[in-house]
């Protein structure tokens, strides 16, 4: 279907000069076709210079009423914004009326977690305490769950920064910031056993975690250790190292830790980042309530 010549020229610009993919250009074409049809009611050509912010806002309301989800509404508005930036760059309009229209908010999905029963099943299962790889792999999972550190932080952990006497890890995190993360006696005992077995491999690197014949860990190896371990323990859904970080945060809050303390342990810059975990714990609370409370079990609850 042919569009307004101005829009056709804009789409050609996206394709030929910006090298946008065919799918992206097709999405722009569809969005702008819907917009111009609504703008003119199919009676003529749009006057782009006379379009107001209110016109665009009204179109957003119309599209929402037709069932467009927030993600789709954002894309449609961004298509109109991009068209006006293009027209402004060529002096064809003086302002971008779409710039003042607020983008629809897309709900952020809650982080995935592993249930405590699955983690307990894994951490309580038997391990050959004389096998370096088995002990190291179990320690990797324990350290993620009991300290909440990131995968890159675990891989970069230096041996001198693991202090079993104080029960502390000194972690080098994002934005080159260091933080101290405490750990308990169980993790301390596993660290001691791991270090004894590591010494037998002849590893001499500064890294705390190493491969069986020396050498630094790599991301896909760490992912596989966590994924395989959690799958064997019956966990479903996502089973990545970051899921264990989420599980650590949720377990801390469920156990009574303050939000500010969890923020510091995770190394978050903002408390707002940590607050997502309060939604996880409340969702779990709702789930348990519906399973347990007699009134919640009534039909329709």
The CA distance from 132 to 123, in Å, is 16
Percent pLDDT > 70 in the chain is: 90
**214 has pLDDT over 50:** yes
C-alpha triplet 213, 219, 223: angle, nearest 5°: 100
**301 has pLDDT over 50:** no
Which domains, and CATH codes, for the chain? 5-89 (1.10.150), 116-292 (1.10.443.10)
> 110-158 pLDDT, tens per residue?
567 787 888 888 899 999 999 999 999 999 999 999 999 999 999 999 9
Task: Give the range with max mean pLDDT: 45-54, 156-165, 167-176, 260-269.
Answer: 156-165
> What are the catalytic residues?
150, 174, 242, 245, 268, 277
Residue 15: Cβ within 10 Å count = 15
Q: 3-class DSSP state for residue 101?
A: coil
- Give me the chain's average pLDDT, please: 87
Position 275 scores a pLDDT of: 77
């Amino acid at each position: 279907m042919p569009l307004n010549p101005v829009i056709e020229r804009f789409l050609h610009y996206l394709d030929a000069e910006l090298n946008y993919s065919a799918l992206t250009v097709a999405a722009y074409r569809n969005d702008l076709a819907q917009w111009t049809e609504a703008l003119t009611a199919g009676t003529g050509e749009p006057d782009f210079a006379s379009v107001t912010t209110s016109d665009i806002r009204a179109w957003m309301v119309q599209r929402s009423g037709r069932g467009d989800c927030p993600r789709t509404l954002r894309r449609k508005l961004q298509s109109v914004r991009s068209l006006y930036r293009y027209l402004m760059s060529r002096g064809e309009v003086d302002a971008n009326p779409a710039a003042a229209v607020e983008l629809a908010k897309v709900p952020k999905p809650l982080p995935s977690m592993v249930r405590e029963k699955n983690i307990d099943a894994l951490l309580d299962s038997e391990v050959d305490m004389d096998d370096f790889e088995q002990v190291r792999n179990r320690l990797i999972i324990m350290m993620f769950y009991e300290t909440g550190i990131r995968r890159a932080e675990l891989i970069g952990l230096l041996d001198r920064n693991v202090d079993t006497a104080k029960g502390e890890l000194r972690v080098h995190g994002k934005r080159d910031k260091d933080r101290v993360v405490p750990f308990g006696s169980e993790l301390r005992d596993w660290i001691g056993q791991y270090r004894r077995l590591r010494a037998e491999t002849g590893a001499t690197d500064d890294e705390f975690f190493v491969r069986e014949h020396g050498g630094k860990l790599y991301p896909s190896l760490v992912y596989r250790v966590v994924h395989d371990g959690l799958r064997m323990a019956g966990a479903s859904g996502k089973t990545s190292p970051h899921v264990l970080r989420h599980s650590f945060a949720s377990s801390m809050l469920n156990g009574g830790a303050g939000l500010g303390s969890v923020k510091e342990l995770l190394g978050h810059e903002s408390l707002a980042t940590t607050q997502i975990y309060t939604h996880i714990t409340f969702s779990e609370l709702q789930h348990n309530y519906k399973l347990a409370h007699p009134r919640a079990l009534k039909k329709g609850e």
